[in-house]
Every structure is written in C-alpha cells, then in structure tokens.
C-alpha cells in the first residue's frame, strides 16, 4: 500500500509550514510519499483567486493519478507528532476520515454558495461543518471518486468573503462568513452519511485544546 501526505504551499509563510510538515512526516510517517507543491498548483487546478482552495482536491486527485492508495491532506499549519496510521485505518474502513470544525454549515456559508449547491439555509443550520485542515481518503474507494466529482462540479460555489461583518455573504445577521471548501465538504458529508469525528480527534490545536489521540497539531508559523 502506498500512502501520501498532500500539501500545497504558496508564499513564504506557507512554505515554512510545508517544510515543518515535511520534516515531521519524515520523522513520524516514514515511507509516506510527500506529494507537495511549493509555489505551484497541482495539474488542472484553477487559481486560488478564481476558486478558493480548489487546489486541495486537485492535489488529492493527482495523488490518486500517481497511484497512491491513501492520502492525507494537510494544511501548511499542520505537523505530525505521532504516526498517522490510525487516520489511515479509519480512512480505509470508512472511505474517508474527517473531523468536526466545531461550527455548523448554516452560520458559515454564503447565500450564493448555498443556492449553487441547491441547499436551503433553513435546512442546514445544524449540519456540522467538517474541518478542511486535515482529512484522509481511501483513494481506491468509490466515495473518493464521488467526492472528487462533487468538488469539481461545484467549484463555482467556493468563492465568498471570509466574514460577514458588512453583510458581504448574507443579509442574515446570524451568518458569520463563508468557509469555501468546507461548505462543499459539509453538504457532501451530509448527503453521503459520512461520519464526522468530534473535535478534537486526531488533530489538535495546541492554543485551544489537546487530544489524547492526537497524531498531528495545527498552528500558524
């Protein structure tokens, strides 16, 4: 079985995070391929400006094309502190491992995005939003193929302002902003009945909370 750690880093800050991630992967995930892009986009990916964070699923798609069986996406804020095999095991068991971001879809999605996804806000206030910081896919599974098809088909729903302070994403005062790829992941996980593990799980944020099961941490450089 071939396993890959996948990351895209553009700009000096993100490159430093990528270097930290790569160093930790060599220490804690020996034998994993480092499918990393530095100041370049994966094949087929639109720019971050045109489709925010689309590079994530394009990098995972390329990992599949390159023949990897399981891939773990990691943002540049992530580094490993233990072997990620438990994450791989659950990805193989479920098709996908992903954790909860602690927020819900209804508060963190633009009106325009939900309309493009064919979703009504009143139906998604309580839908959990998974984190896009780190997740794992069994690239051999139909679920992975379904996810890639969904993300590619809805890249036009990725755009949106980060906050809603000036009502940029919705006139609804309860909406706090837009979370791009996590919006799409939320709807996909809901529609496919994907288990979203509670926070914190295998990924901890040391400035917020630690998990006894953590294999990775996330924090800015």
Whole-angstrom Cα distance, residue 118 to residue 162? 21
Cβ–Cβ < 8 Å for 99, 131 = yes
DSSP E strand boundaries for the chain: 3-9, 33-38, 70-74, 78-80, 96-104, 128-138, 203-204, 216-218
Sheet containing strand 78-80, edge to edge, reads 78-80, 216-218, 203-204
205: phi then psi, degrees, rounded to nearest 5: -110, 105
**Residue 171: Cβ within 10 Å count:** 8
Tokens of 99: 């954790």
Cα 7 to chain centroid distance, Å, stands at: 10
Q: CATH second-level architecture of 3-218?
A: Alpha-Beta Complex (3.90)
Per-residue pLDDT for the chain (221 aa), expressed as one digit of tens each? Answer: 999 999 999 999 999 999 999 999 999 999 999 999 999 999 999 999 999 999 999 999 999 999 999 999 999 999 999 999 999 999 999 999 999 999 999 999 999 999 999 999 999 999 999 999 999 999 999 999 999 999 999 999 999 999 999 999 999 999 999 999 999 999 999 999 999 999 989 999 988 888 889 999 999 76
DSSP notation for 185-201: HHHHHHHHT---BPSSS
**Spatial CA neighbour of 3 closest among 38, 31, 43, 37:** 31
Domain-wise residue ranges, the chain = 3-218
End-to-end, the C-alpha distance of the chain in Å comes to 32
Q: What is the pLDDT of residue 105?
A: 98
Cβ–Cβ < 8 Å for 108, 179 = yes
**Spatial CA neighbour of 169 closest among 117, 118, 109, 122:** 109
Cβ–Cβ < 8 Å for 74, 5 = yes
pLDDT tens per residue across span 78-101: 999 999 999 999 999 999 999 999
pLDDT tens per residue across span 25-64: 999 999 999 999 999 999 999 999 999 999 999 999 999 9
Q: What is the pLDDT of residue 207?
A: 82
């Amino acid at each position: 079985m071939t396993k890959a750690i996948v990351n895209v880093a553009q700009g000096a800050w993100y490159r430093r995070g990528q270097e930290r991630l790569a160093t930790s992967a060599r220490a804690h995930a020996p034998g994993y391929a480092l499918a990393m892009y530095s100041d370049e986009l994966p094949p087929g990916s639109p720019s971050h400006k045109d489709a925010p964070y689309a590079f994530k699923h394009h990098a995972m798609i390329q990992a599949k094309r390159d023949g990897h069986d399981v891939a773990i996406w990691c943002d540049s804020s992530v580094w490993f502190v233990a072997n990620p095999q438990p994450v791989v095991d659950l990805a193989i068991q479920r098709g996908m491992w992903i954790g909860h971001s602690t927020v819900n879809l209804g508060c963190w999605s633009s009106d325009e995005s939900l309309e493009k996804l064919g979703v009504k806000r009143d139906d998604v206030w309580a839908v959990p939003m998974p984190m896009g910081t780190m997740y794992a896919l069994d690239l051999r599974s139909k679920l992975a193929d379904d996810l890639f098809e969904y993300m590619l088909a809805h890249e036009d729903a990725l755009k949106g302002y980060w906050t809603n302070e000036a009502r940029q994403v919705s006139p609804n005062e309860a909406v706090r902003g837009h979370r791009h790829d996590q919006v799409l992941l939320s709807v996909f996980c809901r529609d496919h009945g994907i288990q979203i593990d509670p926070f914190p799980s295998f990924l901890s944020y040391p400035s917020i909370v630690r998990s006894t099961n953590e294999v990775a941490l996330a924090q800015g450089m």
